[in-house]
């Protein structure tokens, strides 16, 4: 029996453990990232993502319109027939609108809701939807991207997954996205985290 054997084994295990810990540290950006979505959010906060070209229903190119306007935009993705996540987003945006108005931030930040259901969400339908939410057109607009390929690229850039449910509606995820005045995605915030989204927008301004 070699008495040094167990010691060598423990030392080898310790080396393996340290190497695994180091690899995990690197892969998770210092343990701050444990999912691919978290990694994506951290990435865009560090390095804003240029958005693909997408033309809105009124003919404007999205990022050009943002740059021309000069305000930071908080963007969400909805469809007007939705009664779950989109309702929660609507509530968040109502609170954002009130806070922007209360603090006189309308010259720095605005809101944009983009529908991924252009077949049903035409201009008139979106206008009725905005009226129900008491959206101030100067602060909160709604539109859609009619072109299928452009819409798919835009959803992918924002990390929005939309799957038809077979009953005419959609299963999808939801978040509040901060797009800076250069038309770059620089922040992603969960439902209910509208105060942090607004703070992030103000930092980007």
Residues flagged as binding site for Cu cation: 82, 86
Q: Give which of 69, 64, 180, 164 is closest to 116, Cα–Cα.
A: 164
Helices (H), the chain: 5-27, 36-46, 62-69, 85-102, 123-132, 148-158, 194-204
Residue 17 CB coordination number (10 Å): 10
Which SS3 state, helix, strand or coil, does residue 152 take? helix
Q: Which residues are annotated binding-site positions?
A: 82, 86
- The terminus-to-terminus CA distance of the chain in angstroms comes to 71
Q: What is the Cα–Cα distance from 193 to 180, expressed in whole angstroms?
A: 18
The Cα-based distances of 194 to 12, 81, 100 in angstroms read: 49, 23, 11
| Structure token pair of residue 125 | 């339908």
């Amino acid at each position: 029996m070699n008495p040094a054997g167990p010691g060598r084994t423990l030392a080898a295990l310790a080396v393996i453990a340290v190497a695994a810990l180091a690899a995990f540290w690197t892969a998770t950006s210092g343990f701050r990232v444990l999912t691919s979505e978290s990694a994506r959010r951290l990435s865009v906060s560090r390095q804003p993502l240029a958005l693909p070209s997408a033309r809105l229903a009124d003919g404007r190119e999205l990022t050009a319109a943002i740059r021309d306007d000069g305000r930071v935009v908080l963007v969400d993705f909805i469809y007007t027939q939705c009664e779950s996540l989109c309702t929660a987003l609507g509530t968040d945006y109502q609170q954002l609108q009130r806070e922007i108005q209360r603090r006189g931030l309308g010259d720095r930040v605005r809101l944009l809701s983009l529908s991924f259901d252009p077949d049903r969400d035409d201009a008139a339908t979106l206008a009725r939807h905005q009226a129900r939410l008491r959206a101030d057109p100067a602060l909160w607009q709604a539109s859609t991207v009619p072109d299928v390929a452009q819409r798919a690229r835009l959803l992918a850039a924002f990390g929005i997954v939309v799957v038809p449910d077979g009953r005419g509606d959609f299963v999808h995820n939801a978040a509040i996205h901060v797009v800076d005045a250069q038309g770059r995605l620089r922040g992603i915030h969960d439902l209910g985290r509208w105060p942090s989204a607004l703070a992030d927008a103000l930092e980007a301004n």
